[in-house]
Amino acid sequence: MRDRLTSVRTDCADMLGEGEEILMENEAGDEDGYRLTERKVVDPDNVMEPQDGESLASLQTCTLADCKRRLIARGELVDRST
């Protein structure tokens, strides 16, 4: 099972563009690189599930105007440090 992330800052997720790299550190202190592949605004009850075999990271934040919707930025694993 993949280590849970200790923390992720999502307050600037709306400034990320497709193709940009996202670096995340897991509990073991290893840094994994993800390439942003998708951004979309969804209702709060929308759940985005990965398919079997996918290594994805999802960043989520509230939309700024009214906080009634969520901005989701997803990326696929491109580099895993071990």
Instruction: Note the pTM of the prediction, 2 decimals.
Output: 0.66
Is the separation of the CB atoms in 54 and 63 below 8 Å?
A: no
Count: domains in the chain: 1
Does residue 36 lie in a domain region?
yes
Given this model, what pLDDT does residue 12 score? 53
Does residue 8 lie in a domain region?
no
Does residue 5 lie in a domain region?
no
Residue with tokens 């599930």: 49
The pLDDT tens digits along the chain (82 residues) read: 344 443 444 445 556 778 888 888 878 888 989 999 988 888 988 877 767 778 888 888 888 777 888 888 889 999 777 5
Helix H, strand E, coil C: the string for the chain is: CCCCECCCCCCCHHHCCCCCEEEEEECCCCEEEEEEEEEEEECCCCCCCCCCCCCEEEEEEECCCCCCCEEEEEEEEEEECC
Joined tokens for residue 35:
């390439």
| Domain extent at residue 31 | 13-80
Does residue 68 lie in a domain region?
yes
Does residue 66 lie in a domain region?
yes
CATH code of 37's domain: 2.40.260.10
Given this model, what pLDDT does residue 13 score? 54
Given this model, what pLDDT does residue 7 score? 42
Does residue 4 lie in a domain region?
no
Given this model, what pLDDT does residue 35 score? 93
